[in-house]
A and B are shown apart, each in its own frame.
Chain A
Amino acid sequence: MKIGLISPYAWDVPGGVQAHIRDLAYHYLDQGHEISVLAPASDENSIVENFVVSAGRPVAIPYNGAVARVLFGPVAASRVRQWVAGGDFDVLHLHEPAIPSLSLLACSIAEGPLVGTFHAAAPRQKVTFAIAPFLEPVIEKLRARIAVSEIARETLRIHLDTDAVVIPNGISADFYQRAEANPAWSRELTIGFIGRFSEPRKGLNILLEALPKIALVLPDVRLLIAGPGDGMEAMESVNPALRSRIRFLGRIDDDAKASFLKSVSVYVAPNTGGESFGIILTEAMASGVPIVASNIPAFSQLLEDGKYGLLFENENASDLAEKLIRLLKDKELARGYSELGIQYAKRFDWTQVGDEIMNVYLHARGEDEKVTLLSEARPWSRLFTRGEEE
């Protein structure tokens, strides 16, 4: 099958959606499908994958508590048109078709077996109601909609009044389970945190607020933080006596991430909101590290209300400290979560998720159908060419 995938966000900037598309592309390539990915790119030369086509330089806009690098405009539209016309795709899989970027462009100019995946979860926003009438006829063309979580599905229902099939994000469970611990990072009583910690919604400040409370009970506690950002700036709020317990590793690659998760004794996700799925939690579970996470809707749902990890009250540092102490002290509890997590994480493996997405492709496509450009089918052009058609 020839599959076209579109990323709305810049390919050379790390992000959940891009990682999802990349892994999905590799998974289908391994199965013998033909793949082409269209994505914005700040620097075309930085693209290492030969199946990725650049659509031009993205612009940065603030979106959902973060900066999104997206691409739109007439030049981008003509790039999309060329790519769709030359691609001869059996299925076009658009990611985040509701945000102003390539996927939305593609959705408005293509026709046929279109599938859309909605990643984001956002609270009710007035602006969406203003643009919904313009968005609706475009989104309506998707033969099938996928939401990555119940929260994403709910967002879609509220904003665009349309339902979706829920298929979670995928991981390579094996990769995380087989990783080796790094001796430099593994020690008793180590708490791990991964993320762009300078963004307030990642909740690092809550973790730092909880740290003194944990250190009172467990003086040897250590905090390992990985992810892009200025560590010195984040340290400023921390009591100087505690600073020696915190270590910033900077941005780490996938291999380092896997061994990071294998090394730490507890993984903590203090995010305060804006999450739709929580892929890092599934990766942590796959590697067998027990989890403490805030009880925001996405995490509560993923961890099934605490069945697969300890939940603490969102933005409550004392509760976070208490839960972390409990998990660090109680080896039995930690082992229980670890074993459950490894089993549960298999549900998110690409072998499972890839098949589910393929099922949707097969359902979205009529017999021998291809993705075509819409221009031939516009109402006014049809009005004038009706005679010729018959």
Chain B
Amino acid sequence: MDLPIFVAPLIILLIIWYLTFSATRLDRLHQRVETSWANLDAILQRRASLALELTHFPETDPAGNLLLTSAAHHARAADISVRSEAESSLTAALLLLRQESWLVEKYPDLFEELDQITERLKVGISLHVEGVSAARARRSKLIYRIFRLAGKAPLPVRYAFEDDSLVEVQR
């Protein structure tokens, strides 16, 4: 039978197609994570600069101001290895400030902006976390590992601050 002669190249073509198809899927997931991180990063930066504005109140005590200023500076300057910790402490410091209702009433605009940023942060974090888990789940599949379909793309990671800011935001 010469059937296998026709079938063999067909199967090889099919495998090649499937591999490129799979690689494209993963590539797209990586792209999704990159976009969502870039957007999340931009909002975190905005939050840090807003936090610095919030330290200019004459009414707040110096200790609180110091805490917030240093947290905001840390969050802006921190490199990626300590970034998560810096964002967590900024979240905590902002949450403390947000509880001062008399201050909120006195500066409604700034706090409204803070609430908006917090809202956007919430969406940004859940999209980023979702993208990261989707990409990681795909990368861990056997075929992706055998054929190294991820190439040189770094493994997407989620950060610890994402979990605790989500929890505190939803409270």
Contact = CB atoms under 8 A, between A and B. Distances in A.
Interface of A: 111, 137, 140-141, 143-145, 162-163, 165, 355-356, 359-360, 362-367, 369, 377, 379-380, 382-383
Contacts of A379: 17, 20-21, 23-24
Contact of A359 (B25, B28, B123): B123
A365 B28 contact: no
B60 interface: no
A165 B126 CA distance: 7
B28 A363 contact: no
B120 A359 contact: yes
A363 B127 contact: yes
Which 9 interchain pairs have the tightest Cβ spacing?
A: A379-B20, A366-B35, A359-B123, A363-B39, A163-B130, A379-B24, A359-B120, A363-B124, A363-B127
Contact of B17 (A145, A367, A380): A380
A141 B35 CA distance: 13
Interface string B19-57: 011011100110010111011100000000000000000
A165 B23 contact: no
Nearest to A113: B35
Interface string B41-84: 00000000000000000000000000000000000000000000
Nearest to B36: A363
30 contacts: A137-B21, A140-B25, A140-B29, A140-B134, A143-B32, A143-B35, A144-B127, A163-B130, A163-B133, A165-B123, A355-B119, A360-B123, A360-B127, A362-B39, A363-B39, A363-B40, A363-B120, A363-B123, A363-B124, A363-B127, A364-B35, A366-B35, A366-B38, A366-B39, A367-B38, A369-B35, A379-B17, A379-B21, A379-B23, A383-B20
Contacts of B21: 137, 379
Contacts of B127: 143-144, 165, 360, 363-364
A121 B46 CA distance: 37
B120 A362 contact: yes
Nearest to A366: B35
A163 B21 CA distance: 23
Given A141-B28, A144-B127, A379-B23, 20 more contacts: A111-B28, A140-B25, A140-B28, A143-B32, A143-B35, A143-B127, A163-B126, A163-B130, A356-B123, A359-B120, A360-B123, A360-B127, A363-B123, A366-B35, A366-B38, A366-B39, A367-B38, A379-B17, A379-B24, A383-B20
B104 to A, nearest CB: 19
Contacts of A111: 28
Nearest to A136: B25
A199 B124 CA distance: 40
Interface in B2-23: 17, 20-21, 23
A365 B35 CA distance: 7
B159 to A, nearest CB: 16
Contacts of A163: 126, 130, 133
**Binding site of B, secondary structure by majority: helix, strand, loop or mixed?**
helix
A203 B119 CA distance: 38
Given A359-B119, A363-B120, A379-B17, A143 B134 contact: no
A382 B16 CA distance: 13
Nearest to A369: B35
Nearest to B138: A140
Contacts of B124: 363
B155 to A, nearest CB: 18
Contacts of A366: 34-35, 38-39
B117 to A, nearest CB: 10
A163 B130 CA distance: 7
A385 to B, nearest CB: 13
A147 B120 CA distance: 17
A80 to B, nearest CB: 19
A70 B25 CA distance: 27
A356 B127 CA distance: 13
Interface centre among B29, B39, B134 (most CB of A within 10 A): B39
A133 to B, nearest CB: 12
A162 B23 CA distance: 19
Contacts of A141: 28
Nearest to A379: B20
A369 B31 CA distance: 12
Contacts of B133: 163
Contacts of A365: 35, 39
A362 B43 CA distance: 11
A333 to B, nearest CB: 31
Contact of A137 (B20, B25, B34): B25
Contacts of B32: 143
Interface string B118-132: 011001101100100
Nearest to B21: A379
A143 B36 contact: yes
B79 to A, nearest CB: 22
Contacts of A356: 119, 123
Contacts of B34: 366
Contacts of A380: 17, 20
A383 B13 CA distance: 13
Contacts of A377: 24
